Amino acid sequence: MNIASFAPLAVVLPILGAALTFLLIRHSRAQRAVSIAILTVTLLLECWLLASVWEGGTAAVNIGGWMPPWGIVLVVDQFSSLMLVVSSAVSLAVLIYATGQGMADGDRDAPVSIFHPTYLILVAGVSNAFLSGDLFNLYVGFEILLTASYVLITLGGTGPRIRAGVTYVVVSVVSSVLFLIAIAMIYGATGTINMADLAIKLGDLDQGTRTLLHVMLLVAFGIKAAVFPLSFWLPDSYPTAPAPVTAVFAGLLTKVGVYAMVRTETLLFPGDALNAPLMVAALLTMVVGILGALAQSDIKRLLSFTLVSHIGYMVFGLAMSTVAGLGAAVFYVVHHITIQTSLFLVTGLIERRGGSSSMDRVAGLAKLSPVLGVLFFIPAMNLAGIPPFSGFLGKLGLLQAGIELGTPLAYALVIGGVLTSLLTLLAIARVWNRAFWRKPEDAEHPDPVLLAAPEDSATGDRAGRTNVTLLPRTMVGSTLGLVLFGVALTVFAGPLFKVADQSAHEMLDRSAYIHAVLGEDAPVPPVPSAVRPGQQQGGGK
Amino acid sequence: MSVNLTLLTVMGALYACGIYLILERSLTRVLLGLMLLANATNLLILATGGYAGLAPIFDKNTPAGDYSDPLPQALILTSIVISFAVTAFMLGIIYRTWVLARQDEIQDDAEDRRVAETPSFDAEDDSVIPVETSEFPLAMIGSDGAGLVDTPVGGGPGPGSGSSQGSGAAAVMSGDRPVRAEQAASEEQPGSLNVDPRPEGGGQ
């Protein structure tokens, strides 16, 4: 009996919490208390899991006592437990923010009673996807989180949200169908869907079948992770949702796709078979995404485009399949979850204070609310990769790994990465200049709310209600907490990079994972491709 | 035993119709397309389970190869449940679209259209600044504002000369430093000279 056998609780607790909050649907105060308590306990449990995996190595739990490869297995390794901790921390901050917003608005504007159960189910789905050691269970995890996200993205059922929701639902369902087709094909080819078992058996297939299955999985996950050219849906659908929902989607959902891509590339299909196409996709994702961001005049849309663009960095790190590259990608995922979520939370606050998130309407915020300026400035600089923030460290790691790899394509990506970083700074600086430094009167269409509100008032009229607290302490506090978490990633970047590198090493090695699931005497097949110069260099570090 | 060709043909037809339908603009047809795709995939999973056999209920006298594979059926059950939930949700959304917009069509993203139609010229970023609006005059810094550098030369020795009346307004600004600073500050008022008065592209 070790600590890892408590891993299923990371999924079960939020689901039980969802059931409980559903029963408490008429008591919003109890609902809030339950959901925050459940997420806190889950977060503590996952910290404990991370610590135990750090000491004891990868562990697997057989659900229902069915032995692998027949039963469902949950695997806790360094990468998955790290992702669990970060995702739970971020979702807890967003939950506190959302309850703060609900309390300030008197819970009348949105059907908040539905929000809490759905949100907890979303968290359960994310945890299930991270823990799953079985392809079909991964699909179920995706479906749990997607179904919850369908409800959250159309919360309130207003016209724009329904329009955005349709795009989102249809694209997600199509990607899920692709994933399911890939699972069916993989089962047909190998007779198993256990990922550790697949790692052994997929190597025996002939090259053509392998490539087909590989491409199908990558396309399905690429849609979920918003990799260009499969990213078109994201900027259309994310910005209209309520601020906390957009924040948690931006932070977590695309990263679950990236996580699945990492597992596909390292565990199921190791080697460099599709590295070159992945690198090209990464380059296009970075550059096209950030060029899209520069054209936007709405802050939420701009941030959605930077989100797409920065997915490119993670795919770049993954596509190198060296320890240095993958380690930097893991670090970047952790950094980006935190930073992108905090930026969307701050944008929610901007919308509250200034009445709009459009840069044509909102202005002069630096004077209206200096706190907001600080809260925006730190993660914004972090995103753009200004030293000494973690964004800079992550990008530096990626660029170093790219130069170490030394292929022409890697150099092209290094140049693309630097360019994207600079353009991100430009996009962010535009937001700063327009929304924060410009006088309200200079805005193209200044928001009447903005002009009407006296500069030092803490309350105002919003959406037909008077005396709404503009910046409730809970909302500012949770945003501040997340921004500080982002700063802590910078301060503790050394240990974090060590964890990231070690988890990358473990993932590329594969033996720990396979042994944990199938027992110590399971054979670990060699990585198929023969010559990988970057691997040797990176592995020696 | 052989592969069930009927099932495979039906699967192919379902995929073809499904893909055709999800490319339509009508939401109901898109939903029908998604349902067909889900069912086609269920058939695919069934086909990957191998040949048909006995019901997978354990019996000591039956060799293992005679059973049909139970796992694909478990997978299909799960995926049926999931597609049921998604279909119900889509129906809700379609009904809501009908209530809100009285149409069963996918609508364009208005903000996306607006951004696409915005001209590349941005009044704030790209227009030439006609008058120096900084609180630190260029002449003081010694930069190359041609009109501003000229004015002190013409206006300095002979104040009030009639020929330099055109630049007189600028001379007032640059001649007297303290007054000028205030004026420069007041020049930053909205919509005056540093903002192109043309209507913004695609403002509506």
Nearest to A297 by CA among B16, B111, B121, B106: B111
Tokens 């918003």, residue located: A226
Cα separation of A47 and A41, whole Å? 10
On the question of pLDDT at B170 being above 60, the answer is no
CA distance A66 to chain B (A): 13
On the question of pLDDT at A396 being above 70, the answer is yes
Q: For residue A394, give the amino acid letter.
A: G
Q: pLDDT of A160-193, one tens digit each?
A: 888 888 889 999 999 999 999 999 999 988 888 8
Task: Indicate the average pLDDT of chain A.
Answer: 85
Cβ–Cβ < 8 Å for B166, B150: no
Contacts of B97 in chain A (CB under 8 A): 162-163, 166
Cβ–Cβ < 8 Å for A389, A397: no
On the question of pLDDT at B187 being above 50, the answer is no
**Is A188 touching B (CB cutoff 8 A)?**
yes
Contacts of A180 in chain B (CB under 8 A): 41, 45, 79
Nearest 5°: phi and psi at B118? -65, 130
The pLDDT value recorded for residue A111 is 55
Question: Is pTM, for the whole model, over 0.90?
Answer: no
CA distance A539 to chain B (A): 39
Of residues B45, B78, B90, nearest to A184 (C-beta): B45
On the question of pLDDT at B146 being above 60, the answer is no
CA distance A55 to chain B (A): 36
Helix or strand run (H / E) with residue A364: none
Nearest 5°: phi and psi at A132? -65, 135
Q: How far is CA A378 from each of CA A101, A315, A340, B154, rounded to the nearest angstrom?
A: 22, 25, 12, 49
What number is the average pLDDT over the span A401-430? 91
- Domains of chain B are 5-107 (1.10.287.3510), 123-187 (no CATH)
Give A132's DSSP letter: B
On the question of pLDDT at B174 being above 90, the answer is no
Most confident segment among A110-124, A226-240, A281-295, A512-526: A281-295
Contact (CB<8Å) B78/A177: no
The pLDDT value recorded for residue A200 is 87
Long-range contacts of A148-152 (CB under 8 A, 24+ apart): A148/A118, A148/A119, A148/A121, A148/A122, A149/A122, A149/A249, A149/A253, A150/B86, A150/B89, A151/A114, A151/A118, A151/B89, A152/A115, A152/A118, A152/A119, A152/A122, A152/A241, A152/A245, A152/A249
Contacts of A184 in chain B (CB under 8 A): 41, 44-45, 47-48, 72, 75
Tokens 């939020």, residue located: A14
Q: Give me A153's structure tokens.
A: 């993205």
Contacts of B78 in chain A (CB under 8 A): 136, 140
**Is A482 touching B (CB cutoff 8 A)?**
no
On the question of pLDDT at B121 being above 90, the answer is no
The pLDDT value recorded for residue B11 is 92
Q: How far is CA A397 from each of CA A174, A324, A401, rounded to the nearest angstrom?
A: 35, 7, 6
On the question of pLDDT at B158 being above 60, the answer is no
The pLDDT value recorded for residue B204 is 37
The pLDDT value recorded for residue A461 is 59
Q: Give me B11's structure tokens.
A: 């699967």
The pLDDT value recorded for residue A315 is 92
Question: Cis ω on the peptide bond leading into residue A235 (within 30° of 0)?
Answer: no
On the question of pLDDT at A70 being above 60, the answer is yes
State the burial class of residue A253 (Cβ atoms within 10 Å of its Cβ: 0-12, 13-18, 19+).
Answer: buried
- What does the DSSP assignment read for A201-266? HGGGS-HHHHHHHHHHHHHHHHHHHT-TTS-THHHHHSTTS-HHHHHHIIIIIHHHHHHHHHHIII
Cβ–Cβ < 8 Å for A13, A41: yes
Q: pLDDT of A523-539, one tens digit each?
A: 777 776 544 444 444 33
Contact (CB<8Å) B45/A180: yes
Bridge partners (DSSP) of residue A60 are A75
State the burial class of residue B73 (Cβ atoms within 10 Å of its Cβ: 0-12, 13-18, 19+).
Answer: middle
Q: pLDDT of A349-377, one tens digit each?
A: 888 887 778 888 887 788 778 888 899 99
Four-CA torsion A71, A76, A82, A88, nearest 10 degrees? 50
Spans of all domains in chain A = 3-448+471-540
Share of residues in chain A with pLDDT > 70 (%)? 91
What are the respective helix, strand and coil percentages of chain B, to the nearest 5? Answer: 60, 0, 35
Q: pLDDT of B19-70, one tens digit each?
A: 999 998 888 999 999 999 999 999 999 888 777 778 878 888 888 778 888 8
Least confident range from A109-123, A459-473, B54-68, B82-96: namely A459-473
The pLDDT value recorded for residue A466 is 60
Nearest 5°: phi and psi at B8? -65, -40
CB pairs under 8 A between A and B: 103
